[in-house]
Amino acid sequence: MIKLNNIVKHFGEQVVLSDVTFEVKEREIFGLLGPSGAGKTTIINILTHQLEADSGIHEIGATSFETGLMLDEDGLYVRLNCIENLNIFADIYGIPRKKTLETLKSVGLENAAKKSVGKLSRGMRQRLALARAILHEPKVLFLDEPSSGLDPETARGIHKLIFNLRDKGATVFLTTHNMEEAVKLCNCVALLHKGVIIEQGAPGEICERHNAVKTVPDLESVFIKLTGAELV
Ligand SMILES: Nc1ncnc2c1ncn2[C@@H]1O[C@H](COP(=O)(O)OP(=O)(O)OP(=O)(O)O)[C@@H](O)[C@H]1O
Ligand SMILES: [Mg+2]
């Protein structure tokens, strides 16, 4: 469903992505793991045509209308309330407005429908951004750190929603710093370190390879083992 082949990207002199190659299969929950600055958001920006790669090939088996995107900068209108924010998108995508309340319910925000975005908590705002990303039932969903900074309960709610979307046929591409989250959610992960994919495969297998005791190793220890260097 998503393919990247030898993607290279520079920002000025800095090589941000070097020869990134991986594939995401249909109906998979794929996790791109890496520390801050590894290049995760840059990959999402390239795949969603917000940035151009210097070289390499990438493709998605869905049109831009069939793609949902939730980024760190959510681009929500702070003076409008939740339902108004979703209605704007519903109108753009030609979706009946009754779907907006339904979607708001699915992220547990029905009681905040009339609350302005500027007055939402971080977790509520994140869930609204997710609601907007899934409103048009996209075939491919990009989620940039969907649960970063959320309390465990809210994060669990978002995880449940991600599973539901996959069960309904969506392919999910998410980024995270958190190995435990990746193990719980993803069928397949790729580890990105300074723009280089250093490991990929099923998260359980990666954990086994890098941890003799079968608990989830933290991401940092896997990276240190693979690169021999401390994370910056
Ligand atoms: N528009 C830009 N201009 C110049 N440098 C950029 C730009 N966008 C990103 N970078 C640089 O590219 C590198 C990768 O950034 P990116 O945002 O992709 O990392 P990330 O893995 O998403 O990090 P985080 O986990 O903090 O979100 C960083 O060194 C960053 O400073
Ligand atoms: Mg990022």
Q: Identify whether 108 is part of a domain.
A: yes
Q: Residue 67 carries which side chain, given as an amino acid letter?
A: T
Q: What is the 3-state secondary structure (H, E, C) of 7-57?
A: EEEEECCEEEEEEEEEEECCCCEEEEECCCCCCHHHHHHHHCCCCCCCEEE
In the reported structure, the alpha carbon of residue 48 is separated from the centroid of ligand 1 by a whole-number distance in angstroms of: 16
Q: Identify whether 49 is part of a domain.
A: yes
In the reported structure, the alpha carbon of residue 200 is separated from the centroid of ligand 1 by a whole-number distance in angstroms of: 21
Separation CA 232–CA 230 (nearest Å): 6
**pLDDT tier at 212 (50, 70, 90 boundaries)?**
low
Look over the chain and give the mean of its residue pLDDT values, rounded to a whole number: 91
Q: Identify whether 206 is part of a domain.
A: no
Q: Is 14 helix (H, G, I), strand (E, B) or coil?
A: strand
Q: Identify whether 42 is part of a domain.
A: yes
Q: Identify whether 172 is part of a domain.
A: no
What is the pLDDT at residue 219?
Answer: 81
Q: Are residues 6 and 50 in the same domain?
A: yes
Structural domain total, the chain: 2
Domain harbouring 40, CATH code: 3.40.50.300
Percent of the chain topping pLDDT 90: 73
- 10 Å CB burial of residue 127 (0-12, 13-18, 19+) is buried
Evaluate: CB of 215 within 6 angstroms of ligand 1. no
Q: Which of 30-34, 57-61, 225-229 has the lowest mean pLDDT?
A: 225-229
What is the pLDDT at residue 215?
Answer: 61
Write out pLDDT tens, residues 53-95: 999 999 999 998 899 999 877 889 999 999 999 999 999 999 9
Residue nearest to atom 18 of ligand 1 (CA): 39
Smallest-distance ligand from the CA of 43:
1
Distance of alpha carbon 20 from its chain centroid, rounded?
17
Domain that holds residue 37: 1-62+185-200+217-232
Q: Identify whether 88 is part of a domain.
A: yes
pTM > 0.95: no
Q: Are residues 58 and 76 in the same domain?
A: no
Write out pLDDT tens, residues 98-147: 999 999 998 989 999 999 999 999 889 999 999 999 999 999 999 999 98
Q: Identify whether 145 is part of a domain.
A: no
Write out pLDDT tens, residues 158-211: 999 999 999 999 999 999 998 889 999 999 999 999 999 999 999 988 888 877
Q: Are residues 3 and 58 in the same domain?
A: yes
Residue nearest to atom 10 of ligand 1 (CA): 11
Q: Are residues 110 and 129 in the same domain?
A: yes
In the reported structure, the alpha carbon of residue 82 is separated from the centroid of ligand 1 by a whole-number distance in angstroms of: 29
**pLDDT tier at 232 (50, 70, 90 boundaries)?**
low
Residue nearest to atom 5 of ligand 1 (CA): 11
Choosing from 8, 33, 41 the residue with most ligand 1 atoms within 8 A of its CB, the one to mutate for a pocket test is: 41
In the reported structure, the alpha carbon of residue 39 is separated from the centroid of ligand 2 by a whole-number distance in angstroms of: 7
Q: Are residues 44 and 82 in the same domain?
A: no
Q: Which of 135, 154, 173 finishes a domain?
A: 135
Q: Are residues 55 and 79 in the same domain?
A: no
Q: Are residues 130 and 90 in the same domain?
A: yes
Q: Identify whether 46 is part of a domain.
A: yes
